[in-house]
Structure 1
Amino acid sequence: MSNSTRDLLLRLAPSIYGPTILFTLGAYAMLPIVPVIAVSQGAGLGLSGVIASAVVVGRLLGNLPASWLVSRSGERIAMLIASAVAFAGALGVALAPSLAVLGASVFVIGFAEATFGLARHSLMTTRVPVSFRARALSLIGGSHRFGRFAGPFLAAGLLGLTGAQEAPVWAFVVCLALTALLVGFAPDPERLLSDRPPGGPASTGPVPAPGSSGVIGAIRVGREPLLRIGGSAAILSGLRSVKDVLLPLWGVSIGLDATGVALVVGIAGTIDFALFYVSGQVMDRFGRLWAALPATVAMALSFLLLATTHDLPGAVWWLVGCSVVIGIGNGLSSGILLTLGADLAPRGNPAPYLAAWRTLTDFGGAAAPLAVSAIAAVSLPLASTVTGVLAVLGAAGFARWIPRYVPRMRSDPGRGPDPDPDPEPPAPRTPSGA
């Protein structure tokens, strides 16, 4: 990494990466406690699960309205508004007088999280030079992973110290207040990114035609890559969610206790987190395909192999080995969804297209684990096989469509990779040119 790239990424830490860590840390400290709060207010297990899932529904439904807000108010203001709305939602969770208010508050938090994520994605898409776009976005993926990893530990520590089940919720409130302070008073990321070092333009997507503003217009302009690469990206998003459901279920099914299950999941998560920046380096140096394809192939092979090991004498060690490979695959794909969305978004006003992109990938992340869980109720090996086949389809889609729709990166010593200047989708290429 050049000094100018490193310096710019460090300067973005207070305004982009710091708020991402704080928002995610607080959210994942609170979310595991939501079912506990619901049960304490009289909800059954089924209803408590529905209330906890309201955050996913909020994320899905929040992306499209968020594009309107980002396009009209700007990314920084949208991030501040999202932080304020999430703050109100967190207060609602902490003080909820009824299950209806609790569910609505969790939904509002998911809605605000979609706005915060879209604003941050749009800002990086329009202003970060493409030569180190993947590294910049993989750092966002790493920041998010750190928050998801550390949040439950923060919640456990607070519960141990205070004994109050609302303590993690108040921790989220504090994290949101700090997030808003950073976004509001840290150096303006729009100003920092407007003075870009050499390394190519900050947008490589098509130029939108007149009258094509808004989500519908953006989809009309870029519908083919959205459906083709976006479909594969939705599968990858689904694989990430499925592993969080299937691996613990598999561990319980083969006789592991809670500690053993937590250890297996923790090993996979640690490897995943450790590789997040490697993903960005690979994408910027060799092309997007060389992160997306190995990641999906690794997960495909792991799930297909896992399906054959349930009744073997060394089933635990097979689970550990497959979990490690899945963690490697997930780590190598860190930031790939953000990066592909940024690559494909139209120039000038990417927010509407990114809203459609994020809705599609979020849908994959929400629908896949529900489908696999339903299959797992019948047969865990069958669920793992279906997941592996899904990963194969995702890998095939990436191999076929990334070389066609994502500009080829050409290495130029002293400058870094530059995008193909042709704004139209290039002709099909071999994966080596991705």
Structure 2
Amino acid sequence: MSSMCNHDEHAVVRCRMYRYGTRICYRLTVMLSVFCGAMSPAVAQEPGWEDGATHEVGGLQIVLSKPRLMHRSQGFLWFPSMYHLGGERLFVVASTYADQAQNVTPGVVLFSKDGGWTWSQPIDNSYGEMAIPRPDGSTLLLSYYLRLQSPDRATGQVWRIPRDQEHIEAIRDELFVSGWPRKIGPLDADLGNPRAEWKLASFVFNGQSVLAKDGRIHLATLYGRFAGTKRYSLVLAESADGLQWTIRAVIADETCELVGQEGPCESALVRLKDGRLFCVFRLDSSVDFGHCFSDDDGKTWTEPRNLKGTHSVQPSLSVSETGKLLLSGGRPGLFIWINRRGDAVGWEKIDLARHHNQWVEDEPILKAVAAFDSNTSSYTEVRWLDDQRFLVVYDRLANGWHAIPADSHATNSLWVVRGRVK
């Protein structure tokens, strides 16, 4: 993570190029657990989430839990990404460095094995956003930044989370991306002030991965600037092993006519229930998201259109077992949008910042805008656990984009809310 956006004194426009008793009671508990498990596995595993508020959206009743604290720190702690490992297991990656280009990108990883109710102690690891599930049950985490090797080749690092384990390890195999339709270059100086000796490439891995229809090829998004351009482009890459990537298509480039000085950049990608790929992307801070569809597995894409009523910094998408769509994001604000039909047409929203403030009075999100003193980055991640339950994570900032003073007792924090369809 690091900033790939221009900043001025009035706005923060981050595109991140820049964690009893007795025996009889015991027997009764076991019997009830077995019975309830046979009737409803999800209920049997349900921990003590406290219901917060119920929202009527899209003909559904959505019950949001009271927010739960995941982790807090006096250092930077923001821009969370969340990944579902299957069942009740998840992990979250968060950045722990300032929003600017870095040669080394520190972050933390946190694991949950009970559907997000509790989280492990943070594990220090380099920050990355793109997770790739492997056939053996392990998961790869790709580095955010890439190193420029040539105008047609960039390389990066990879970490591995073994199956059913709560640790992460670096692997020796190198990540590389080639087959670019146009030349790429070094990360521009106006995008977080990178040093030339770092050799950071002008594109980064960002967003979500999906499998191609054959179930074998991974598809993932990158964004950045092609050599000689001053606006972002969004591309789709393919890989059989999660290590060797080739650009499959340009989703939307710097010529995109939608409003937004930055251009198509941070994105989210899912496969709809009708088989099409659906990609939502940022165009700038405080403007509507853009979106495109593909009906040929990402080889070609529809003309970019605005996804009206949704905005603005990095989106997150999740599709349920029956096709219901969730989208999260914000700036201004912090929101969840729901599309019950699963066709990506028509969205109804829940105000997540307002929900947070209703229950966390001591640490409110009073400012969620493009400003250096905002109480949240408005970067979120949403994931369905099954067809009835989902999680959304977000950050709360005590001192905006600035470091917390050493003599302060304030902290930055990560929060999680569980959603349930009644």
Common topology (TM > 0.5):
no
TM-score normalised by structure 2 residue count: 0.24
Bigger share in helix? 1
Bigger share in strand? 2
TM-score normalised by structure 1 residue count: 0.24
Which structure's relative contact order is higher, taking Cα pairs within 8 Å and 6+ residues apart? Answer: 1
